[in-house]
Amino acid sequence: MCEYLNWLVSHVTDAEMQMNAVERIEHYRKLPSERYEGLRRPPATWPDEGDIKLEGVSARYDEHLDTVLKNATIHLKKGQKIGICGRTGSGKSSLVLALFRMIDTFSGRILIDGFDISDIPLTILRRRLAIIPQDPVLFSGSVRFNLDPVGDTSDEKLWEVLEITQLKYVVMDLDGKLEAMVSEGGENFSVGQRQLFCLARAFLRKTKIMVMDEPTASVDIETDALIRKVVAIAFAESTVLTIAHRVSSILDSDTVLVLGGGEILEYDSPGNLLKQEDSVFSSLVRG
């Protein structure tokens, strides 16, 4: 009897654990789909300047949750390198997610080069912007597929981008070169190399707006300097938004945006904010 009871408890527990997958599938099945249609189709060259305006933007992750971005109004000028900082929960990531329409913007509007992003088809909006996440993402497949999933870029252009991002000789040493296989998650490359691949992928899109979620947070100092150098060259004319987890990484930005509690607290050049001893940015640098 004891053996049968042990067998029963073991199998019931295992079945309960397996049912978690069913529960998750059922949950995702009932989630409402994103609105992919748009009222206005922008030109093929949009965005051609990279000018961003937020007009009274309030956003939340769900209609039943609290507001994470509160009445944000700001003009991020074209071509500027903007550092976004603030303490944990200040709204840094929420601002970026609102830009990609990944959270509910229930009030106000975001304009990119004069186009309200809520009117633009979602696939076009996300295809025209670029982001380099903190944790680099590579897919199982060839090097070519990871750089150009759509497959509309020539070999010459791919090699040119690899040279700019300091990956040319890394790929040349691989068996198959551009056709060399990338393991799941890019585990056959170092973290720094994975980050540079993400940078190369973003550069191929020739976007005027680049978002970086502190891509140098998990790499060594040498790779950090290399990534900064590549960004400075490849995106010299683009508007670059950098979410800073280390305030020191945005001291060379044109302007700094300081958030707190979902609200915009300060927006000025790093030099001007550091001159103000009572500014939030100064306290972040000191502390």
Is pLDDT of 107 > 80?
A: yes
What pLDDT does 17 receive? 92
Residue 24 lies in a domain: no
CATH number, domain containing residue 77: 3.40.50.300
pLDDT digits (tens, 9 = 90+) for 129-178: 888 877 788 888 888 898 888 777 888 888 988 888 888 888 888 888 88
Of 216 and 30, more confident? 30
pLDDT value of residue 218: 59
Radius of gyration from C-alpha coordinates of the chain? 22
Q: What is the largest CA-CA distance in the chain?
A: 78
Taking 90 as the threshold, does the pLDDT of residue 251 lie above it? no
Could you tell me the residue range of the domain that residue 269 belongs to?
Answer: 52-286
Helix%, strand%, coil% for the chain, nearest 5? 40, 20, 35
Neighbours of 75 (CB within 10 A): 11
- 206 within some domain: yes
Q: How far apart are CA 105 and CA 56, in angstroms?
A: 10
Contacts 24+ apart (CB under 8 A), 121-124: 121/36, 121/37, 121/38, 121/41, 122/34, 122/35, 122/36, 122/38, 123/36, 124/38, 124/41, 124/42
Total domain count for the chain? 1
By the 8 A CB rule, do 167 and 197 touch? yes
Residue 38 domain flag:
no
Is position 205 within any domain?
A: yes
pLDDT digits 0-9 by tens, 176-233? 888 888 887 788 888 878 888 888 888 887 788 988 887 665 566 676 777 777 777 7
Tokens of 48: 């051609």
Q: Is the residue at 40 inside a domain?
A: no
Q: What is the pLDDT of residue 186?
A: 80
Residue 110 within any structural domain of the chain: yes
Find, among 228, 281, 232, the residue nearest to 257 by Cα. 281
Q: pLDDT tier at 75 (50, 70, 90 boundaries)?
A: very high
What's the whole-number average pLDDT of the chain?
A: 85
Q: Do 106 and 60 meet the contact criterion of CB atoms below 8 Å apart?
A: yes
- The reply to whether 235 falls in a domain is yes
